[in-house]
Structures are given as C-alpha cells and as structure tokens.
C-alpha cells in the first residue's frame, strides 16, 4: 500500500518511482492512493476512484478517463 509515493519528487524521480511500482505490481497487488490522475492512468489496468472517502467510479483507465462524474469532481478540485 502506497500513499502518494511521488509527492515532492522531481519529474525524473517520478519516472523512476513509476517503473519501480510497475515492477512490484507484476507479482503482487499494489494499492496506491494518489491524486495525480496521469500517474494512475499510466500504471494500472483497474482503477477505483473515491471522492471524500465515498465510491465514485471503477473501471479500466479508459473508462475512468471517459467518466463524466470523475471529470466533474476532478475539475471542481482544480
């Protein structure tokens, strides 16, 4: 379980961390709490989105990217 593992990292260090997480996920389940949607979309095949601790959406990266409610909530936080 990882909680915002790339917080405060440079773009270069973030890429290294993403590759490490990808490697770990090949042989085990990884639960990752992250606010950077681009990071999540690039790493996982199955995503669950929570908003204020409540279930919002679940699906593939493509389904999450195309989910109107995820977009609404994400834009409200920007």
Task: Return the active site residues.
Answer: 4
| Rounded Cα distance, 27 and 72, in Å | 34
Question: 19 burial class (0-12, 13-18, 19+ CB within 10 angstroms)?
Answer: exposed
């Amino acid at each position: 379980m990882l909680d915002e593992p790339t917080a405060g990292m440079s773009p270069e260090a973030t890429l290294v961390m993403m590759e490490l997480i990808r490697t770990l996920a090949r042989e085990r389940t990884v639960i990752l709490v992250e606010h950077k949607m681009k990071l999540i979309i690039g790493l996982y095949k199955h995503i669950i989105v929570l908003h204020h601790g409540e279930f919002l959406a679940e699906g593939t990266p493509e389904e999450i990217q195309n989910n109107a409610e995820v977009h609404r909530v994400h834009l409200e936080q920007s």
